[in-house]
Amino acid sequence: MTALQQREIKLESQAQTGIQIQRESLAKRPRIREILIQAFLFLCGALSILVTLGIVYELGKESMLFFTRQQWEVTNRTLVEDVPTGWISFRISQSGARLAEGDVIRIGSEVMQITAISGNRIAVERGIQETEPQAHDAGSDIAGATRVTLREFLTRTQWNPQIGKYGIWALVNATLMTSVAALALALPLGLSVAIYLSEYASDRARSILKPVLEILSGIPTVVYGYFALTFMTPLLRALLGVNTVEIYNTASAGLVIGILILPMVSSMSEDALSAVPQSLRQAAYALGATRLETAVKVVVPAALSGITAAFIVAASRAIGETMIVAIAAGAGSNFTFNPFKAAETMTGHIVRISSGDISYDSIDYNSLFAIGLMLFIITLGLNILSQYIVRRFREVYE
């Protein structure tokens, strides 16, 4: 009996006793279930990209509508003669806004396009943009079509949708006012706290102080809004006089945002400081440096990239902060450099306009997305900058 035969007999007996031997190949083969699961998990991850694309697409689409939507503005020009339905050329009053060939105008409910101008006589194409030619009486007002230009949006300082003024600087300026106040409070304070916790405090003190400060960052921002309005504003008014400080003002909102981002600055900076190896400190002490000199001249420079990143993230957070400014900074845009006056920030404006009944087919609705896009670009830029700084300038010690 050969060895092979013996083995087969053995296998048969095993099969009879119920033990299955797989004779399949052990080579890798596709497993449908595993592939499906992996595909599903990939889709979960890819959804985050969809979210980003969705944000960019929606903000971009509505912003495009904002810049292309036709609006009517008063030209102060009128018809000087009756214009029947058939006329394609007529006289208009002399004074008023300048009209040019190709301009779109509206008389009554009819929209026309100017094809030629000669003195006070204009030739038009009647009834465009799905309107019908109508007869108009002498004295009818002529409205001119305008669009919000990107140039106006980015350079003007008045934001007043009622009279068609869309200069983003009124809102950006208020955002900068609150953010600068916030950073002026939070950066020096936050860095000081970080240096104290990392370089001076005992382990026991740190284990108590750090969580206590971090409570501040866990409190909802609407609570800070309440705090700004019922504590910070009355405090400022008591200190500086009720005539100087308005009830709603950017300084109060800004300082409270500073308190909100303080734990973020101190916590991230402290992580950066703690990551500096002990040997650097010991080297500084060995050269006779005092504790302060070691902290400020050795440890802080070594952790500078992390600290800078913390500052930038804090700035991005301050710019995007909404509820504090919506409650305490005031309603209605105002281009002012006085921190004790009310001024509406970008985020505050979005909240105020969207909390009313807003029609989807209106320039107000579109303008929210244009502001949102601006906000998105600024904060994304700052976040990317902070990640770049960490990657590029990080000192790596072993």
Partner 1 sequence: MSSSAGDTERILDGPRPADKFAPNLARRHRSGRFWLLVFQAATIAGIIALGALVLSIGNGAFGYIAVQNEIDPATLAVDDVGLQDLPKEELVRILEENVSEGLFRRLEHDLPLAERSRQNVYDLIMERVVEPKTVQQWTLFDSLFRQDAIVAEVSGEYPDAQLRFVSWLDPEFIVTPQSGDAMKAGVRTAILGSLWTIAVAILFAFPIGVGAAIYLEEYAGESLINRIIQVNINNLAGVPSIVYGLLGLAIFVRTLQALTSGAFLGFADPSTANGRTIASAGMTLGLLILPLIIINAQEAIKAVPYSLRLASFALGATPWQTIWSHVLPSALPGILTGTILAVSRAIGETAPLVVVGASTFITFDPAGLFSKFTTLPVQIYQWTSRPQDVFRNIAAAAIIVLLLLLLSLNATAILLRNRVSRRLS
**What is the footprint of partner 1 within residues 141-200 (CB under 8 A)?**
188-189, 192-193, 195-197, 200
Select from 79, 181, 315, 319 the one that contacts partner 1 (CB under 8 A).
319
Least distance between partner 1 and beta carbon 164 (Å): 22
Compute CA 381 distance to the chain's CA centroid, rounded to the nearest angstrom: 10
Closer to partner 1 by CB, 12 or 58: give it: 58
Which residue from 220, 278, 396, 398 is in contact with partner 1, where contact means CB under 8 A? 220
Q: Least distance from C-beta 347 to partner 1, angstroms? A: 5
Smallest distance from partner 1 to CB 390, Å: 11
Kindly indicate which of the ranges 31-39, 118-126, 134-142, 150-158 contains the residues binding partner 1, using the contact rule CB under 8 A: 31-39
Rounded least distance, CB 344 to partner 1, Å: 13
Q: Which is nearer to partner 1, 141 or 271 (CB)?
A: 271
- Residue from 6, 13, 14, 38 touching partner 1 (CB under 8 A): that is 38
**Three-state DSSP string of the chain:** CCHHHHHHHHHHHHHHCCCCCCCCCCCCCCCHHHHHHHHHHHHHHHHHHHHHHHHHHHHHHHHHHHHHCCEEEEEEEEECCCECCCCCEEEECCCCCCCCCCCEEEECCEEEEEEEEECCEEEEEEEECCCCCCCECCCCEEEEEECCCHHHHHHCCCEEHHHCEECCHHHHHHHHHHHHHHHHHHHHHHHHHHHHHHHHCCHHHHHHHHHHHHHHHHCCHHHHHHHHHHHHHHHHHHHHCCCCCCCCCHHHHHHHHHHHHHHHHHHHHHHHHHCCCHHHHHHHHHCCCCHHHHHHHHHHHHCHHHHHHHHHHHHHHHHHCCHHHHHHCCCCCCCCCCCCCCCCCHHHHHHHHHHCCCCCCCHHHHHHHHHHHHHHHHHHHHHHHHHHHHHHHCCCCC
Binding-site member from 111, 264, 372, 389 for partner 1 (CB under 8 A): 372
Least separation in angstroms between residue 89's CB and partner 1 is 44
Q: Give whichever of 272 and 350 is closer to partner 1, judged by the CB atom.
A: 350
Toward partner 1, which CB reaches closer, 117 or 275?
A: 275
Is 221 one of the binding residues for partner 1 (CB under 8 A)?
yes
Nearest-approach distance from CB 237 to partner 1, in angstroms: 15
Given 138, 154, 184, 223, the residue binding partner 1 (CB under 8 A): 223
Binders in 50-89 for partner 1, by CB under 8 A: 51-52, 54-55, 58-59, 62
**Which of 3, 218, 239, 392 contacts partner 1 by CB under 8 A?**
218
Under rule CB under 8 A, which residues in 241-300 are in contact with partner 1? 259, 262-263, 266, 288, 290-293, 296
